[in-house]
Amino acid sequence: MIEIENVRKSFGTLEVLKGINLSIEKGEVLCLIGGSGSGKSTLLQCINGLQSIQGGNIIVDGTNVHARDTNLNTLRQKLGIVFQQYNAFPHLTALENVALAPRVVKKQSRRDALDLAREHLDYVGLGSKADMKPSGLSGGQQQRLAIARALAMKPAYMLFDEVTSALDPELVGEVLDTLRKLKESGMTMIVVTHDVAFARESGDRVAFFDQGVICELGPARQVINDPKEERTRQFLQRVLH
């Protein structure tokens, strides 16, 4: 499980996380919603060790992410992360993009890495696009390629940072379908999303972030359909209408 204990994060004098406490159980899908700048994406980067923290602890399967003796490269093999930007290598095919990390990081043979890459491209519905360069793929396909690339490392947890925000509306569904498929497989996920309908239907719990704090946390349908906090209600009224 992932345990987040009183985590604080600042950029200069701006405190963006003000004592966050969360526990994410194995197999759970936690969706983080809230306005831009509320701290959601920063929290994901702190969980993955991409950002330092100024206070508190983040524990992943008993390992303190920010302890001095923690090997972040080893830890990140457990923590797949997918961003808004696809970040594929433009000179490599889809297959080569997915196979790269297993070959370089896990020292798999070329044949094993390519077999693994084909398996994960099939999983996200891109089996027929294996020999294409990223420039030949649509935005939704490039985002699914990014998911396949993260899954190829066989992580225990997946972190998604607004993975549909940069997509045209008609391409959003194919990426969300991949996330739903992952949920059905039992993958533990933390999903930062502006898609409130997805959070309600596919999230187990929802955390509403506001100005660096968790304003409301609870079962997904309860938080979105019947929020207890006035600030949550105001936010949802704005994004749902």
What pLDDT is stored for residue 164 in this prediction? 85
Please give the Cα distance from 199 to 33 (Å, whole number).
8
Report which residue type is found at 50: L
Does residue 196 share a domain with residue 179? Answer: yes
DSSP label at residue 134: G
Confidence of residue 169 (pLDDT cuts 50, 70, 90): confident
Which residues are within 8 A (CB) of 111 and not within 5 positions of it... i.e. 6 or more apart?
Answer: none
pLDDT, residue 165, reads 83
Q: Does 223 lie in the same domain as 123? A: no
Residues 94-152 have pLDDT tens digits of 999 999 999 998 899 999 999 999 999 999 999 999 999 999 999 999 999 999 999 99
pLDDT band for position 86 (cuts 50, 70, 90): confident
Q: Are residues 68 and 103 in the same domain?
A: no
Domain presence at residue 72: yes
CATH number at residue 197: 3.40.50.300
Beta-bridge partners for 79:
157
Task: Check whether residue 96 and residue 68 sit in a common domain.
Answer: no
* Same-domain pairing of 133 and 164: no
Determine, yes or no, domain membership for 205: yes
pLDDT score recorded for residue 85: 82
- Identify the band that residue 84 occupies on the pLDDT scale cut at 50, 70 and 90: confident
Please report, for residues 168, 193, 226, the alpha-carbon distance to residue 237 in angstroms, rounded to integers and kept in the order given.
23, 16, 11
What's residue 87's pLDDT?
81
Domain range spanning residue 124? 89-154
Question: How many C-beta neighbours within 10 Å does residue 137 have?
Answer: 18
The mean per-residue pLDDT over the stretch 162-182 comes to 87
Residue 112 sits in the same domain as residue 144: yes
Q: Are residues 113 and 139 in the same domain?
A: yes
